[in-house]
Amino acid sequence: MRIQLAVFFIFAVLATCCDSEAADLETVVRHEGDCDPIEEGWRLGSSTIGTGAGSETVGGQKLAYWSVSDRGNEDGQYSFSLGKEQLSGPWRITMIARPVDTSAKGTGFGVVLFDGENYWRLNLNKDGAYYESSTGPAARYGEPFDTTDKYHRYELSMQPVSSCGPGNADRVTLLVDGKEHARLTRGDFRRFRGPGAIAFGSTNSSATGEVRYNLVEFASSAVASNSGQQLRQDPATTIALSSALRKTPGGPWHIGGGKQLFIDRRYIEQSKNIRLTVNPPVKRPGAVIKSDKPWDAFNLIYYSIAQDGDVYKMWYQAYDDDQWGGGVPRMCYAVSRDGLHWEKPNLGLVEYRGSKDNNILLEEPSKLGYVFVDPHDSPERRYKMLSGIGTTRIRTSPDGIHWTLHPQVVWSPTWDTQKQAWWDSRIGKYVIQTRAQLAKEDALPFPFVSPIESDPPVVAPKLHRPLRALGRLEVDDIMEPWPTDQVRTVMTADERDPPGSDIYHPGGVYQYPYAADAYFMFPLTYQHFRAGEGHPSNDGVNDTQFAASRDGVHWMRYDRRPFIPRGLPGDPDYGMTHGTGFFVRQGNYLYQYYGGWPWTHGGFRLLSQAERQDRKNWGRKFVGVVVHRLDGFVSADATQEGGQLVTPPLVFRGHCLALNIDVAALGGAAVEIQDEAGKAIPGYTLDDCDRILMNDVAFVVRWRGNADVAPLAGKPVRLKIAMRSAKLYAFQFVGE
């Protein structure tokens, strides 16, 4: 039943006080009154939240509402996914709501929006409206006020500002009952890289209480062509990545407003004293996951991690006893709010030694499991798990906790390693990364990808070392049997690696969401011991290397130095480091997960029987974190003697040029914009450029104080960048 209310004409009048742009906004998604949000296209992310319809008269207003009650410290959000185009222009969130009771301190109940760059909260407490600040903690919008006395109308609007001048940033305004309550900028809000979505309900698991929502609406000036229909999408929709495409052979690169990385020489047509350098991350002390339960007492292996809204989830296999002496692998689950502090919740699903108070997911033993969030399938099957050695089968889940086994075998080869999969938004297919096992030298079971397409070209291996290598398969339907004849070998140990080497595991592929055409891989390399050096069978040293690609198919291994190096004797990762392909962004930094182990690949099996049963030798494998600079994987470097590079012709959109650059205190950098023929454009010469002396991930270049490059947009231009003692990671034309 929907109650039509005369009071809405009052709200309509109040809404006219909004910014002038509001008249141009069009509704994308809306919940109103006592209708079930699920019937309106929203998806509820928890089964433990209390919900229901009703109506009440408060403060002279009679309103219908949909209530959300959280009594058990559990997030319960109604989510609706949004496309990049719906978030690209001015937008407005409207909420009419009243907290009945809440324990929230700061954030807790209300609306959150993910726009691919920021995390916008409009949350209610008893004493006002709150947002999540750029530093993470909750902050109040403007002055305090009573949110429980009646239903208030909250309107949070974002208006992009295209100018790159000092002090300008996207404007954010909060109106309460039609009056301006606070005015902020985008920079005040928490940075958050994730799929576009809006959600309302209980938004913080530390808060309990009830909130009644009369209206939740998202409106935008850039609505998709089918915006007249409410799209029933999954909120984990992958961010659409912009691509740099060459329109005609020999023509300019049309880069739009996308960020461009120096992972190869695509954007270096000419150079002097410039070297591409791989920049390893820095290890963060301590472990984020370790053995501290009876059921994971011996070992933790094969991690997979995903993000769902503002929650990070991890799945891993745990052994309660000697892995090589009868221990049973069990699939376990952990969750985190910040990616650094993890909890192992009591799921109550599987009995272990007479109790279900554990974080075990599945009854049966599970080895080599891998979980990913699938934005392409229905909400009921949005999580997928690959598992098995002799055969591979798939489980599906709506929440990553409760799983249904798909009856069909999708893969039969018995290669003993974890297979990985993901939905690649660039090609619109599922990609499966698997092992491609060589029986002997150059005996590839699947063709090697050729030619390798990069700029400049990467030379294909002349020799393929035997044993383990990496294969790739693309499929339209991951639930159907995978066509083995379409697998391609994408990486092997080769003539540049010593004999007895192989690529043990991909480590994970990271489809980089912050720049165009960038994929990263962290292969686990393996050099086997020779006779007399260690265990005669399947023992040797492992560490994590780095590889990059423009398409996820054709890879570059660079100088092959360790990217996540092993530790020194006595360190917990002395024997092995094993990188993963999942990252958490925190401002200007990226956190990557890796596994550490104090023994070599087969070293534990060399211990005596007594040592293998000694509990001080158990639980030594852990999950740690390494820290990267944003975009910092590869840089174009110049020494103190100085160097310069010139790009090929580029066609861009935007108002200013931003560099991710690190300049030493005794260094410097300057940029010149040239025409297509290489002639400096007046007003944008090296002599005009204000000196660049800072370390910044988005330094705006200025020429005699002028940052505006809009007059050059849409025309082929070149960038000439001169540097001394500097590292250049990326460039981007911004402020469209």
C-alpha 478: how far from chain center: 22
Q: Any residues with CB less than 8 A from the CB of 664 and at least 6 apart, and which? A: 725, 726
What are the backbone angles phi and psi of residue 9, rounded to the nearest 5°?
A: -65, -25
Quick one: pLDDT at residue 188? Answer: 87
Is pTM beyond 0.75 here?
Answer: no
Q: Which residues pair with 392 in a beta bridge?
A: 411
Question: So what's the pLDDT on residue 238?
Answer: 27
C-alpha distances out from residue 603 to 543, 545, 610, Å: 15, 21, 15
Whether residue 424 contacts residue 430, with contact meaning beta carbons closer than 8 Å, is answered with yes
Q: How far apart are CA 520 and CA 556, in angstroms?
A: 10
Handedness of CA 344, 349, 355, 360 (dihedral sign): negative
Contacts of 272 (CB under 8 A, 6+ apart): 643, 644, 645
Domain formed by 8-220, architecture: Sandwich (2.60)
**Shared fold status for 8-220 and 245-279+634-734:** yes
CATH 3.40.50.150 fits 289-629, yes or no: no
What count of other Cβ atoms lies within 10 Å of the Cβ of residue 148?
Answer: 17
According to the model, what pLDDT value does residue 352 have? 95
Report angle CA 433, 435, 437 to the nearest 5 degrees: 155
Q: Which residues contact 649 (CB under 8 A, 6 or more apart)?
A: 251, 252, 253, 676, 716, 717, 718
Angle at 15 between CA 9 and CA 20, to 5 degrees: 140
Instruction: Name the β-bridge partners of 360.
Output: 332
Residues 6+ apart with CB under 8 A from 533: none
DSSP 58-88: ETTEEEEEEEEEE-SS--EEEEEE--GGGGS
Q: Which residue, among 546, 593, 587, has the nearest Cα to 305 in the 3D structure?
A: 593
CB distance 716 to 649 below 8 Å: yes
Measured distance CA(508)–CA(417) in Å, rounded: 12
Residue 606 tokens, joined = 């060399």
Q: pLDDT at position 44, please?
A: 82
Angle at CA 518, nearest 5°, toward 644 and 627?
85
* Cα–Cα dist 625/662, whole Å: 23
Residue count of the chain, please give it. Answer: 736
Contact 213, 200 (CB under 8 A): yes
Cα–Cα distance list, 662 to 623, 636, 720, 723, 726 (Å): 30, 11, 17, 10, 6
CA distance 334 to 356: 16
Q: What is residue 310's predicted lDDT score, i.e. its pLDDT?
A: 79
Sign of the Cα torsion 371, 373, 378, 380 reads positive
What's phi and psi for 492, nearest 5 deg?
A: -140, 160
Q: Give me the residue spans of the domains in the chain.
A: 8-220, 245-279+634-734, 289-629
Stretches in the chain below the pLDDT threshold 50 = 1-23, 223-243
- Cβ 1 vs Cβ 52: under 8 Å: no
Residue 502's pLDDT is what?
Answer: 94
- CATH class of segment(s) 245-279+634-734: mainly beta
pLDDT score, position 69: 84
Measured distance between the N- and C-terminal CA atoms of the chain, rounded to whole angstroms:
45
DSSP β-ladder status, 656-675 and 717-734 = antiparallel
SS3 615: helix
How does DSSP classify residue 484? G
Nearest Cα neighbor of 719 from 252, 395, 309 is 252
Rounded Cα distance between 476 and 432, Å, is: 11
Beta bridge partners of 94: 155, 217
